[in-house]
Amino acid sequence: MAPAVHLGSGKVRELYALDDERLLLVATDRISTFDVVLPTEIPDKGRVLTGLSAFWFARTRSICPNHLLAVRSDGRSTECRRLEMLPIECVVRGYLTGSGWKDYVATGSTSGHALPPGLVESQELPEPIFTPATKATTGHDENIDAETAVELVGADRFREVERIALALYRFASAHAHERGIIIADTKFEFGLDPDGVLVLADEALTPDSSRFWPMDGYRPGQAQPSFDKQFVRDYCESLGWDKTDPGPELPENVVAGTRERYIEAFALLTGIDFDAYLDNPEIVLR
Ligand code: Q0N
């Protein structure tokens, strides 16, 4: 087999070309917090995210085709169809948090959606909203309104990604809700296949591409703890670290607690034992 050509690195993932039609996406065990990749890894984090993403791809095929071709036996690498990516991040928000909350406090709107007055931080929105963002090559993605997104992808494609992203979010949100997890918001990336068909790409509905909150203890009116990263954030806050690179090393109790949270999210959402996934990653596709 020809060697895979490295195409690029994300904060926590690596992308390789297998051939003209296929990519290899590798989820590492790196973890980022406050936008900084920490020097300490969380063992199996990449496998958890790969398994979860593959689980959602298998279960959302009737909503939208996706790029997944195969999950490799290492549990962290996936072979994917190589697509022409759309130049927008497709964010769906069901709850008011993060930059959506910041926009709302400043302007009463986010990405051109006028929201009712009096909403509090972390409140569930009356309806999920599609809030596209630009793909920043450096720094932060910037929320854009529908008009700007239409300029980037065209009016028909915009309506299509909005409809599909909302349908994907509603499906996953309902599934997660039944299992004690709130998906506050999530980011999808889409591409086009050679026939111009819209295809879901990247990772989908993982804790790195979404905000997962434990349903137990959900309290509108304040920031919510993160299902997966709260131990890491609390530890970093306790150090008084200034949140610039390099981040701190994590002690083993924080690593172990965080690893357990990822594995718990995997088991709750998939109903599959994580050891069974390690044994045979294709189990999530059935
Ligand atoms: C692609 N990104 C951004 C890996 C992920 N199926 C695809 N076809 C063509 N290009 C891409 C995909 C996918 N997925 C997606 N870059 C290229 C996300 N990257 C960031 C780095 O790590």
Tell me the average pLDDT of the chain.
Answer: 97
pLDDT in tens, 226-271: 999 999 999 999 999 999 999 999 999 999 999 999 999 999 999 9
Band (pLDDT 50/70/90 cuts) for residue 2 is confident
Helix (H) or strand (E) holding 255: helix 252-270
Rounded to an integer, the average pLDDT of 57-61 is 98
If you search the block for the tokens 């997962």, which residue do you land on? 212
Q: Calculate how far, in angstroms, residue 164's C-alpha sits from the geometric centre of ligand 1.
A: 19
The ligand 1 atom at the shortest distance from the C-alpha of residue 135 is: 3
Instruction: Give yes or no for residue 174 having a pLDDT over 80.
Output: yes
- Residue-wise pLDDT for 199-238, tens only, equals 999 999 999 999 999 999 999 999 999 999 999 999 999 9
| Rounded Cα distance, 112 and 146, in Å | 7
Contact 31, 12 (CB under 8 A): yes
Q: Is pLDDT at 13 greater than 80 in this prediction?
A: yes
Task: Give residue 153's pLDDT.
Answer: 98
Proportion of the chain above pLDDT 90, given as a percent: 96
What CA–CA distance (Å, rounded) separates 286 from 153? Answer: 34
pTM: 0.97
pLDDT of 137 above 80: no
Binned at pLDDT 50, 70 and 90, residue 138 comes out as: confident
Q: For ligand 1, pick from 5, 15, 19, 53 the residue to mutate: most ligand atoms within 8 Å of CB.
A: 15
The residue count for the chain: 286
Ligand 1 centre to CA of 202 (Å) is: 6
